[in-house]
Copies of this chain bind each other. A is one copy, B any other.
Amino acid sequence: MTHNFVLRFRSPDRPGIMAAVTPLVAAQGCDIRAAEVYGDPETGHFFCRMELVSPVDHETLSTKIAGAEDYLLDWDLKDLAHKQRVLIAVSKFGHCLVDLIHKQEIGQLPIEIVGVVSNHDTMRKTVEWHGLPYHHLPMSDGKEAQEARFLSIIEESGAELTVLARYMQILSDDFSARLDGRCINIHHSFLPSFKGAKPYHQAHTRGVKIIGATAHFVTADLDEGPIIEQDVRRVSHAVVADEMVAIGREIEASVLSRAVRWHAEHRIFQNGNKTVVL
Q: Closest CB-CB distance, A39 to chain B, in whole Å? A: 5
The stretch that binds B, out of A144-152, A175-183, A203-211, is: A203-211
The stretch that binds B, out of A22-30, A57-65, A111-119, A156-164, is: A22-30
Assembly CA distance A32 to B39 (angstroms):
8
Question: Counting CB contacts under 8 A, is A95 at the interface?
Answer: yes
Taking chain A's interface residues, is the majority helix, strand, or loop, or is none over half, making it mixed?
A: mixed
A19 B17 Cβ-Cβ under 8 A: no
Copies of this chain, whole number = 4
Chain B residues, CB < 8 A from A194: 192
Chain B residues, CB < 8 A from A38: 34, 237-238
Chain B residues, CB < 8 A from A193: 190-193
Question: Counting CB contacts under 8 A, is A172 at the interface?
Answer: no
User: Which one of B26, B192, B207 lies within 8 Å of A206 (CB-CB)?
Assistant: B192
List which A4-43 residues lie within 8 A (CB) of chain B. Answer: 13-20, 22-23, 25-27, 29-42
Q: Return the chain B residue nearest A19 by Cβ.
A: B26
Q: Closest CB-CB distance, A86 to chain B, in whole Å? A: 18
B249 A108 Cβ-Cβ under 8 A: yes
Q: Return the chain B residue nearest A29 by Cβ.
A: B15
Which residues from chain A sit less than 8 Å from chain B, CB to CB?
13-20, 22-23, 25-27, 29-42, 46, 93-95, 98, 102, 106, 108, 129, 190-194, 206-210, 212, 226-232, 234, 236-238, 240, 246, 249-250, 254, 271, 273-277
Chain B residues, CB < 8 A from A42: 240
B32 A37 Cβ-Cβ under 8 A: yes
Assembly CA distance A114 to B165 (angstroms):
30
Chain B residues, CB < 8 A from A236: 277
Chain B residues, CB < 8 A from A17: 32
Which of A19, A229, A274 has most B Cβ within 10 Å?
A19
A39 B33 Cβ-Cβ under 8 A: yes
Q: A106-B95, A227-B209, A254-B250 are in contact. Are A275 and B26 (CB under 8 A)?
A: no
Chain B residues, CB < 8 A from A18: 18, 22, 26, 32, 35
Assembly CA distance A106 to B242 (angstroms):
12
Q: Return the chain B residue nearest A109 by Cβ.
A: B246
Chain B residues, CB < 8 A from A40: 237
Q: Return the chain B residue nearest A33 by Cβ.
A: B39
Q: A19-B23, A102-B95 are in contact. Are A230 and B210 (CB under 8 A)?
A: yes
A31 B13 Cβ-Cβ under 8 A: yes
A207 B275 Cβ-Cβ under 8 A: yes
Q: Closest CB-CB distance, A11 to chain B, in whole Å? A: 11
Q: Return the chain B residue nearest A192 by Cβ.
A: B193
